[in-house]
Structure formats: C-alpha cells, structure tokens
Amino acid sequence: NAGVTQTPKFQVLKTGQSMTLQCAQDMNHNSMYWYRQDPGMGLRLIYYSASEGTTDKGEVPNGYNVSRLNKREFSLRLESAAPSQTSVYFCASSEPLYRVGNTIYFGEGSWLTVV
C-alpha cells in the first residue's frame, strides 16, 4: 500500500530558483494538505484542498502556490526559493476531519534546503 507518496525526498536549491513538490495519494481521499515542519515550530499548515477543485490558505502560505491537479494529486510550488523556506515538507490526505473516525495520513516528507 503506497498511501501518500511525495517526491523528491531531498532537494537543494539556490536562492531564487523555483521547484515543485509532488504529492499523490491512493486512498481516494477528498482532502489533501501541505505542512512544513521546522525545529521548535512544530507542523504548520501551508495550504490545503478540502476537495478536488478547491484550495485554501493555511497558516503560512506566503511564498508558495498549490495546484490540486485531480483527486489524487496535490502539488506545492516555490516560485522563488528563499533560505527561510528551508524545511521539511509533509503532504497529507484524509476524508473530512469533522466526521467521526476520520484520521489523516502523512507522506514520508521532503527535505528542502535553500542556499
């Protein structure tokens, strides 16, 4: 079972470069999320997509764009990378979290370093 798959796992970028993190889930979930995790800051939500065709900003959206390509795929784009975007990025998916019993599934993470 693949679950949530993120690519790439590791990436080094130069300041000002652009890149896209890819995420795909095979659980037919409606909702998908992008979080970043930084030391001492915990996980913070960047963007989420409650359903195919919709996207919403989270806590820290500046400097990022997202695309919900279809129900399976949710990509995160850095248009002009900055050192402050050095972080570990996690994609996740779920059915609506307000419904009883629904939990969230995370990918393995993407380590991004901006120099």
Binding site for another protein (CB under 8 A): 4, 31, 33, 35, 40-45, 48, 50, 58, 90, 92, 96-98, 100-101, 103-109
Pairing outcome for strands 4-7 and 19-25: antiparallel
- Choose between 17 and 43: whose C-beta lies nearer to another protein: 43
- Choose between 14 and 101: whose C-beta lies nearer to another protein: 101
CA dist 31 and 48 (Å) reads: 7
How many helices and strands (H and E) does the chain possess?
A: 0, 11
Non-local (6+) Cβ contacts of 79 within 8 A are: 18, 63, 65
Q: How far is the CB of 63 from another protein (least distance, A)?
A: 19
Q: How far is the CB of 16 from another protein (least distance, A)?
A: 28
- Choose between 85 and 89: whose C-beta lies nearer to another protein: 89
Question: What's phi and psi for 83, nearest 5 deg?
Answer: -55, -30
Q: How far is the CB of 2 from another protein (least distance, A)?
A: 13
